[in-house]
Amino acid sequence: MAVFHSTLIVDKQADPKPDSDFWLDGELGSFGCESSAESALRVLSVKVRRNPLDLLAHLRRIHFCFRNRLPAALYGALLDLLLVLEGKGEALARRLLNACRSGLDKRHCHILFELGRHDPQQIGNRYSLFTGGLQGRSKLVLQIEAPIAPSHDPLTLASDFIEYSQLDQAMDVLESAVGVDPERTELQRALLELYRSTGSRERFEHARRSFAELAIPLADDWQALADIFQRQAS
C-alpha cells in the first residue's frame, strides 16, 4: 500500500523522512530520547530484552536501525528476532531479510540467510541480545505462511500479529490503515472481525466515533456489528 507501508519493507533504501506514528515508540519521549539518538536505540533494545515475545518491539527496533542506517545495530536486531523465532515464521523472516538487505553488509547478510549453519554464540555483536541463549521462552509463532511481498500490506502485517496472538497490535495496524485508506473495504472487514471475535465492544465504539468525527466513510458492516454488540448487552 503506497501510503501506509514503512520503508522497512522495500528493497531500496529510501531517503530519511519522518516515520509514521505506528513505527515510532511512544515511550521514547518519556525517556527524553530523540528519535535519532543512540539513547533511543538503547531504549528499544531494553524493550525487546524485557519482552522477547513482543513482535512489535522487534519490528520497531529493526525499523529504527534501518531508517537510521545503522548496519551493525540492524544486524543485531535481526539476529535477535531470528533467534527468538527458532526457525519458525519463515515467511516473515525472509520478508524482513529481503527488505533489510540494502542496510546490511554482505557478511552479515550471508550469516542471517544461513543462520542454521552457525553457532549463535560465535556470530553475535555488541548489539545482539540473545546470542548467549534465552531462558523461559514460550513458543513465539506456530506458522506464518503469508507470501513474500515487495511491500508490507497492512493485512499481511496484521496477519503476522494475529499469528503471534498479539491481537491488540493487529487492531492497531488495521485501525491506522482504515484511517489512511478507508476505500479498502477488506481492511474494514478484517478489523470488524477482530472486534467481533475478541468481543472488543468499547474499542469498536471508540474507533467508530473517531472515524465518524474524521468523516471517514464506513461500510454498512459497522452498523451490523453495533447491532450485535447491542443485542449482547441487552
What is the distance between the terminal CA atoms of the chain, rounded to a whole angstrom? 40
Q: How high is the pLDDT of residue 22?
A: 53
* DSSP conformational letter for 126: T
Q: At what angle do helices 106-113 and 90-100 cross, to 10 degrees?
A: 170
* Cα of 168 vs its chain's centroid, Å: 12
Q: How high is the pLDDT of residue 148?
A: 33
Q: How high is the pLDDT of residue 23?
A: 55
User: Can you give 179-202 as a three-state secondary structure string?
Assistant: HHCCCCHHHHHHHHHHHHHHCCHH
Residue with cell 539513547: 39
* Positions in the chain short of pLDDT 50: 1-20, 30-32, 135-151
Q: How high is the pLDDT of residue 37?
A: 60
SS3 216: coil
Q: How high is the pLDDT of residue 212?
A: 84
Q: How high is the pLDDT of residue 176?
A: 81
Entry pTM:
0.56
Q: How high is the pLDDT of residue 211?
A: 84
Report pLDDT digits (tens) over 170-204. 898 898 888 778 888 999 999 999 999 999 999 99
Q: How high is the pLDDT of residue 85?
A: 86
Report pLDDT digits (tens) over 108-123. 999 999 998 989 889 9
Q: Please, are residues 119 and 132 in contact by the beta-carbon 8 Å criterion?
A: no
